[in-house]
Structure 1
Amino acid sequence: PSENCYCFSGQSQEISPSQPLIVVAGDDVVLPCQLEPPVDAVQMTIEWGKPDLNPGFVFARHNGQELQTDQNTAYKGRVSLSINKLKHGDVSLKLSKVKVSDSGRYRCYIPQQSKEYFVELLVGASSQPGVNLAGLDEASSGVMLDCKSAGWYPEPEVIWMDSEGNLLSAGPTETLRGPDDLYTVSSRVTVEKRHNNNFTCRVQQRNTNQTRETHIYVPGRRKTFNLINKIPLSCVVAVTFNVIFCLIFVLAVAIFMWKNSELIMYLIYLYIHFMSKSVKLCYFELNAC
């Protein structure tokens, strides 16, 4: 073919690997392509393409020179061949800093041999999930936990487990796909108070063998939520009285400061004494919850 024509014409033999090549986003990867028999390919025409692209050429080499005409701009500066390996028939393509959008089927074509090799690339992306307490489920008296994780590819699944590794029944996973093709998943589960309140949210993608998980400890409901749902009456009275007493104390200081310093000291003593008593009472009431 001419310098500017990369044609996939004529009869060719198709060779495809059985398993896709899996790599994590941001890494470098080598797309394998080996001539058989291993002849010197330095002066051969070598064409790497991706059929779903337009233009579809990822890399092209002709008469010992790399050609950038019609090369897809997404691959400029990220693809290369090894001259030393070309001498031994290894026309594998190195792709640097892979992106999720690089996933797909690649075609290595050698016109002189009428052979084409196909490589399937799967680029995975993942992130650590975040877990937080969402509140109380009044219907079941359980605790609701939320789990969310963004930046995944391909689409992952979310599972919940207790401290013994048992799967928990959760609501349906909400999935959003962004303009960058990355997935955001979120899930909610309601858990009951147990002897060991350790729970795990695991986000996983089986095809790329990516797994991220976050653990959370949920204190007993009585210790965690009674402060919200049931504050002892003695504490309410103590706090209210202290606010009123404080206002009276400030007013007394303003009026009597210049008249009677002993009275001021006595008021301070009464205030400190009452505060210590009320705090102790409130503390015992809370522990009794």
Structure 2
Amino acid sequence: MDFLCFLFLLPLCKSIEVIVPDAPVTGTLDKDVILPCSFTPPDGFSLQDLSVFWEITKLQQVHAFTQGQEQLEKQDPQYINRTQLFYGELLKGNMSLLLRKVSLSDEGIYTCFVNVRNSSSAAVSLQVAASYTKPTLQLKSSETLKLGDQVTITCHTYRGYPQAEILWQDASGRNLTENITTSQVANEEGLFHVQSSICVTLETNDTYTCLVYNPILQELTHASLSVTGQHLSFPMVAVWVTVGLCACLLGLFIALACVCRKHLKQTCEEEQEEGVNEEQEENGELKTAMQPLKASEAEGEETSNLE
């Protein structure tokens, strides 16, 4: 009842300046966060003169402090044992609120009210985020894959918030935008499971990278997969055909070598026969030439004897 009276009297009081951040405050899931809020304290006031109230949408009481002590009887059950003011800072005008173990349901707009001789209020926006797990990549393949086939690479990442921004890149860092399918499904906690698939043509060697970006935390995680010819399965029919061709070529080379060897041997034998014949012919001509010479010598000896 006192709090409602306080809200009713706010417009009638001379307001004081309450300072809050312009940008939303980011809280990480399951971690503590501080909602900043401060005012310029008047001279000579005491905690007995100060009233501080924190609320969230629909007038849910998050925390209350009046007459020098906490008033938590009307605190929303969601925030029990999870909120705290910095008492040593209150006289300095710091009425920031500590919120422990942030959950997705804490996301929203919080209003801090202050009353010390006069009153004012301001709103603080809290956004909650959760980091995504490191992505894992899977290649959907079969034993009949060959170069030029279409293959699908799937990227999985879990338990993140809010929805992620997914990007695919090749080995040269070029962004891939075609043949990509992405789905983001929230679990019972509200955290997202992201699955993104890309269809590519199988090359001899290429690397594909899945990048997962959390826009609130500004975190980037990634994973890469190299697709090479080692992923191909070579058909056994082709293996036997290759072996058969190699055997045929080997047999052809052996036959050709035998023919060449036989021809070379025959040529050598013919050359040897020709050499023998030529030698015999030379020997025959030499004998024929020597016979007239012997006859002439015999006649000369006979003439000498007659004289």
Distance 1:168 1:17, change over 3 A: same
- Counterpart of 2:292? none
Superposition pairs of residues 79-94 of structure 1, within 5 angstroms: 79-94=83-98
Superposition pairs of residues 247-286 of structure 1, within 5 angstroms: none
Distance 1:110 1:194, change over 3 A: same
C-alpha root-mean-square deviation of aligned residues, in Å?
2.9
Q: 2:148 and 2:78 mapped to 1: Cα distance?
A: 53
Structure 2, unmatched stretches of 5+, are: 241-307
- Counterpart of 1:248? none
8 Å Cα contact 2:18-2:40 kept in structure 1: no
Equivalent of 1:204, from 213, 233, 236?
A: 213
8 Å Cα contact 1:163-1:196 kept in structure 2: no
Superposition pairs of residues 183-202 of structure 1, within 5 angstroms: 183-194=192-203, 196-202=205-211
Q: 1:219 offset after TM fit, Å?
A: 2.7
Q: 1:217 offset after TM fit, Å?
A: 2.2
Aligned partner of residue 77 in structure 1, secondary structure: coil
Superposition pairs of residues 45-194 of structure 1, within 5 angstroms: 45-52=51-58, 56-112=60-116, 113-128=118-133, 129-135=135-141, 141-169=149-177, 170-194=179-203
Q: 1:158 offset after TM fit, Å?
A: 1.3
The aligned length equals 228
Equivalent of 1:31, from 31, 35, 57?
A: 35
Superposition pairs of residues 209-228 of structure 1, within 5 angstroms: 209-220=218-229, 223-226=230-233
- Counterpart of 2:7? 8
8 Å Cα contact 1:201-1:215 kept in structure 2: yes
Q: 1:79 offset after TM fit, Å?
A: 0.9
Q: Which amino acid in structure 2 is aligned with residue 197 of structure 1?
A: D
- Counterpart of 1:275? none
Q: Deviations over 1:79-100 (max 9, x none)?
A: 1011111121111001122122
Aligned partner of residue 232 in structure 2, secondary structure: helix
Q: 2:41 and 2:65 mapped to 1: Cα distance?
A: 20
Q: 1:38 and 1:101 mapped to 2: Cα distance?
A: 36
8 Å Cα contact 1:29-1:96 kept in structure 2: yes
Q: 1:123 offset after TM fit, Å?
A: 1.3
8 Å Cα contact 1:41-1:86 kept in structure 2: no
Structure 1, unmatched stretches of 5+, are: 236-289
Q: Which amino acid in structure 2 is aligned with residue 224 of structure 1?
A: H
- Counterpart of 2:281? none
8 Å Cα contact 1:29-1:98 kept in structure 2: yes
Distance 1:186 1:140, change over 3 A: farther
8 Å Cα contact 2:154-2:196 kept in structure 1: yes
Distance 1:5 1:194, change over 3 A: same
Q: 1:120 and 1:138 mapped to 2: Cα distance?
A: 55
8 Å Cα contact 2:185-2:194 kept in structure 1: yes
8 Å Cα contact 1:14-1:118 kept in structure 2: no
Q: 1:145 offset after TM fit, Å?
A: 0.5
- Counterpart of 1:22? 26
Q: 2:130 and 2:51 mapped to 1: Cα distance?
A: 34
Q: 2:30 and 2:46 mapped to 1: Cα distance?
A: 30
TM, length-normalised to structure 1: 0.69
Q: Deviations over 1:195-251 (max 9, x none)?
A: 65222111112233122212222232xx21315xx245779xxxxxxxxxxxxxxxx
8 Å Cα contact 2:27-2:33 kept in structure 1: yes
Q: Which amino acid in structure 2 is aligned with residue 208 of structure 1?
A: L
8 Å Cα contact 2:19-2:38 kept in structure 1: no
Instruction: Please identify which structure carries the higher helix content.
Output: 2
Distance 1:63 1:14, change over 3 A: closer
TM, length-normalised to structure 2: 0.65
8 Å Cα contact 1:47-1:59 kept in structure 2: yes
